[in-house]
Structure formats: structure tokens, C-alpha cells
Amino acid sequence: MAHPQSSRTSCRYANPLAGGDASGPAKPVPRRPAKGNTTMNFFRNVRSLIGLGALCAAAWATPAQAERLKELASIQGVRDNPLIGYGLMVGLDGTGDQTMQTPFTTQSLNNMLQQLGITIPQGVNMQLKNVAAVMVTATLPSFARPGQNIDVTVSSMGNAKSLRGGTLLMTPLKGVDGQVYAIAQGNMVVGGAGASANGSKAQVNQLSSGRIPAGALVERGVEAPVGGESTFTLELNRSDFGTVQQAADAINRQFGPGTAQALDARVIQVRAPAPQERVGFLARLESLEVTPTQAVARVVVNARTGSVVMNQAVRVNDCAVAHGNLSVVINTEPVVSQPNAFSGGSTVVGQTSQISINQGGGALQMVRGGASLADVIKGLNSLGANPQDLVSILQAMKSAGALRAELEII
């Protein structure tokens, strides 16, 4: 029996009949009288070979797919914080907001000029073309310190045609608590281009939003205490009792029994070491490899686009499916009735329609039960249905009990 070769699993076993092992040449067996029951020894050796071969085949068929703990979980309290601000973009090439339709742009500019010591006379309505009101968003990373630069995204709030070439004026970025955590300012990079003339317009990508790399300066950090009470908490990205238990076992094997305890399907409580050792402890903890359990069989269907995605745990039972498409086609053509010469009649234009009804193949198709994702795909492809039809077929198979998976419609 030939064993499949795999880069992850290699099977090396001793040959009790020829001597040596699979990695080197076999040693000659000296011919001498056998002691004991040679028949029993022979069958015992054959059973050993069969058992080892089955073990190697099983290991090759289901290779371990371990992942680092940092991909599976996050440390509670170590998180990003969203920031938002309102500001003005100046220096646009006549593509700014139309002030009659966006009065808040003029109001914001007046307030800013007053703070700079410039007073606008009453009743003056400024017609601005190079100014646009924008919303500025950013993400404050964990452990950010004052003086650090972060990227910001600028988006038009009014009816500006383009923000290309503009400069963002100093804009405070606030958190959910209303406190200012960063100040944004700088020239924006827009990943689009466009031009228009005489009613014609050509545009590539979006012109109403862009990004300023390192465009904000952090003014205040957010405290993220880790292990402040001699323990810290790990939170899995996906709730699963099997995965959380395997993660806790891997931590206890690495750092000693009692270091980690699984509280529920998502949370693991870990005993923290001394403060001067916590950074190195967390670095080793995140590098631990954990093999997650297999996810629940699920089929995700996007009803708007017709996309169908299924994971490897999906199975299909034997079933018969009939699916036909009914199409109605109506062709209408004008018919002109021309009177004879000198008859005194008039030309009449009429309509004639031809209606045809076509029903696609609706014969029963047998879908064999599959033990793997490849078998499931092969069986569904045998129906010859497009993705939109496959959505209806999967829903019917789920109702009939032939689809052994959760069906999620998004």
C-alpha cells in the first residue's frame, strides 16, 4: 500500500520483515531458524504496518492548521479609538462649495476669520469658490503618545466638485467624550482625476475624499492598563467553546498550570506576571500557536449580488432538484398601412406584437451527497444553475433538510 507524501507529515517506520527503516536502505536479513511461532510473529508485524499506515494517512488527510494567538484573540483594553472633526479645505481650483446652497461653509469661514482678527461687514455675502466644508476622521491607535503622527481621511460635506489640490486648515479631532486628542492639518492626496468642458465630463475614481498621510499630531493619549489588577483578559474574535479551551490549554502548557482559565466561549482570564516582565510575557503569549476547532457549517448568500460562499464544513444529503426558468418575450414592430393612389385614404401606422414563452429545463437532477466541499460544489454545478438560481435552490434544499449547514442571507 503506497502512502501519500506530504510536506507537513512524513511517516517513517521500521520494516519488521526487511530490517532498517524507510529513510535508508534495508539491511539484509540473516537466514537463521526462526524462534517461536513464526506465523504469529508475521501477522503481528503485518498488523503493525497496517496501523502505522492508517495513522500516517489520517495525519496526511487532516493536517494541523495552527494559528498564532494574536490572530485569534485580542487583549481587553488594547484597542483603537475613532476621532472626528469638522474643518475647512482651502486652495481649491474653483471646485469648492456653492455658498448659496451650503451656508454653513460661509458661516464657518466667518467664525475662523473673526478668531484671526478679521471682521466681515454686516450684509456682505461672500461668493466662495475655493473653500469647502469637510469632515475629518482618524483612528487613534492604542498606546499612542503626544507628538506621534497619525493618518487622517478628509471627506467633502457640501457640494464641492473636487477636493484635489486643497489644503486642510487646522482641525481639532475629538473623541466620543468630546475631548481633543489630535490636531489635523496639511495637503491632501486625492486618488482620482477629472475634467469637464462644454457639458462633457470625464472622471476617474472619487474626487470628493482623500487622505493626508501623517496629517494629524496626537495631543493626548489614552491610557490602556494591561494587567493592572494582577490579571488581564483575552477575548477571542469568534465565540467558540472548543477554541477557547484549546487556547487556555496551550497557555497553561507554556507558562504552567493555573496561568489561564476559560470563563466562557470568548473570554480567557490570564494571571499577569510582575510589571517588569509583562511586555515579554505578552510577546510570548501572542506567539503561541493554537489549532482552532472547525467552524459551524454555514452558507452565506448575498441576495443583492447573487454571491454564494460556503465553508469547508458544508455537507449535502442525496436529493433530487428540478429548477426551470420561465421567460416571456414580447416583440413589437410597427406596421404601416399605405392607401392606393388617388383613393383619398390616409396612411395609418399600427403595431403588431409577437409573444413567445420559453421554459428552461426543469427536469429532475440528482444531487449526490458529498463528504467534502469539492463533492458539494460538483453536485451543485451539475444542476447548471447560475448564482442567482443557486440562491433559490439552496433555500429550497435547506427547507427540505438536504443542506446540512446554516443558511445566512445578507
Beta strands 149-156 and 209-218 are: antiparallel
Whether the pLDDT of residue 11 is over 50: the answer is: no
Whether the pLDDT of residue 83 is over 90: the answer is: yes
Which residues share a beta bridge with 136?
A: 85, 154
Predicted pLDDT of residue 228: 66
Q: What is 337-396 written as a DSSP string?
A: EPPPTTS----EEEEEEEEEEEE-----EEE--BSSHHHHHHHHHTTT--HHHHHHHHHH
CA atoms of 407 and 316, how far apart (whole Å): 13
Higher pLDDT, 199 or 74: 74
Whether the pLDDT of residue 49 is over 60: the answer is: no
Beta strands 73-75 and 365-367 are: unpaired
Predicted pLDDT of residue 215: 93
Predicted confidence (pLDDT) per residue in 141-179, tens digit: 988 999 999 999 999 998 888 888 899 999 999 999 999
Domains in the chain, CATH or no CATH each: 81-194+203-218 (no CATH), 225-290 (3.30.1360), 298-409 (no CATH)
Higher pLDDT, 362 or 161: 161
Whether the pLDDT of residue 53 is over 80: the answer is: no
Predicted pLDDT of residue 24: 45
Whether the pLDDT of residue 189 is over 50: the answer is: yes
214-235 average pLDDT score: 85
Predicted pLDDT of residue 172: 96
pLDDT-based confidence at residue 132 (cuts at 50, 70, 90): very high
Higher pLDDT, 317 or 146: 146
Closest CA to 80 of 163, 142, 12, 158: 142
243-259 average pLDDT score: 92
Predicted pLDDT of residue 29: 44
| Number of neighbouring beta carbons within 10 Å of residue 290 | 20
Predicted pLDDT of residue 371: 63
Beta strands 298-301 and 406-409 are: parallel
Whether the pLDDT of residue 227 is over 90: the answer is: no
Predicted confidence (pLDDT) per residue in 271-315, tens digit: 988 888 888 999 999 999 998 888 888 888 887 777 888 888 888
Positive or negative torsion for Cα 10, 16, 17, 19:
positive
CA atoms of 278 and 393, how far apart (whole Å): 54
Query: What is the amino acid identity at position 129?
Result: K
Query: What is the amino acid identity at position 161?
Result: K
Higher pLDDT, 175 or 95: 175
Predicted pLDDT of residue 208: 86
Contact 154, 136 (CB under 8 A): yes
Predicted pLDDT of residue 199: 62
- For 8: left if phi > 0, alpha if psi spans -120 to 50, otherwise beta; the answer is alpha
Higher pLDDT, 321 or 182: 182
Whether the pLDDT of residue 8 is over 50: the answer is: no
